[in-house]
Amino acid sequence: MVNQHSKDGEIPIDSIIIRDRTRKDFGDINPLVESISLVGLLQPVVINENNELIEGQRRIKAYEQLGRTEIPVYRVKLEQIILGEFHANTNRKDFTSTERVKIIAAVEEYFREYSRNVGRPRRNQKLDETIIKNNGDKESENNVVNLTTFSGRIKDNISRYFGISRNTLEKEKEIVGAAEQDPESFNELREKVDLKKISVDKAFHEIQKQRKKARILESVRNMSNTSSNSLSLLNGDFREQSRTIPNDSIDLIFTDPPYATEFVPLYRDLAVIAYNTLRPGGSLVTYVGHSAIPKVIEFMEGAGLTYWWPIAIILSGSFARNFLGRLQ
């Protein structure tokens, strides 16, 4: 026997038959509950002609949490429940980072207008009356988003509704904004995030790194233009660029070569260049991975430099590791 739909397209929730489902983890239902409270159920649950649930169990749980006993349904002719569950949960596409930033900007603009741009949601009665008046009847009030039940700031609420942390959303905005402002430098990075080839965190830190580098270069250029001292900015392989530096002309070389084993031979080249370009009494100060110190000292002394003293830097967190020996 097939239960008939109610007049408004809803049927009693307890008439829906829920067989054993593959999905056991329903995640946090609260954002869905709030979404339904705000805009209603945008997608009815799907059942077959025997009232067996095909997809939409999270929506049912949200309706039950709201204390509702009936729910809108959509019927399809499908006997293989597991086939419907598979297609409903696999043939879908989430927003890319760029798309999410765009739609969040629109949602945030609406929320701010509705809450009178005070940071925390507050009902705008004037806007309510305008919307109701334009729709022509009091029943339209059900379509007005009610923000009075919100708690916390707008940005926090939006991130919760989209199921992503506010911190991640801010980083996505930074990535998209950087790509729009400087597409030549950052558009490829944004596309990699959209294609999930790199993480949001990695892209964000790469942008920060490039911007920091640009600020340093700009600062050096400004110093070169305003200072009475002669400054030069050389960009490239230090072994090649050092050929333009006169011997006995430098007081200090301060450098941080890569730590990986494959790069240790670079210290030999560095030692030779330092011996030639440093003035008498000049210093070479360089970062060295702890495990490479004996070999680096050997390179330095072999080039004619004198080893003086280590300057230790105590690191913490993920940096406090000897990656070669896997020591913590």
Domain residue extents for the chain:
10-90, 97-164, 178-233, 238-319
Q: What local confidence, expressed as pLDDT, does residue 321 receive?
A: 61
Q: What local confidence, expressed as pLDDT, does residue 51 receive?
A: 86
Q: What local confidence, expressed as pLDDT, does residue 130 receive?
A: 45
Q: How far apart are CA 239 and CA 323, in angstroms?
A: 27
**CATH class as words, domain 10-90:** alpha beta
* pTM for the structure as a whole: 0.47
The sign of the CA dihedral 93, 99, 103, 108 is positive
Q: What local confidence, expressed as pLDDT, does residue 311 receive?
A: 85
Instruction: Using alpha carbons, select from 121, 101, 114, 109 the residue that is nearest to residue 170.
Output: 101
- Segments in the chain below pLDDT 50: 1-8, 117-119, 121, 123-124, 126-151, 327-328
Q: What local confidence, expressed as pLDDT, does residue 113 receive?
A: 66
| Residue 281: φ, ψ to 5° | 90, -5
CA torsion, points 234, 235, 236, 239, in degrees to nearest 10? Answer: 20
Q: What local confidence, expressed as pLDDT, does residue 43 receive?
A: 81
Q: What local confidence, expressed as pLDDT, does residue 47 receive?
A: 85
Give the position of tokens 């997608």.
43
Q: How many CA atoms lie within 13 A of 89 on its CB side?
A: 17
Compute CA distances 228 → 78, 141, 232, 253, whole Å. 82, 71, 12, 22
Q: How many CA atoms lie within 13 A of 120 on its CB side?
A: 5
Q: How far apart are CA 63 and CA 54, in angstroms?
A: 17
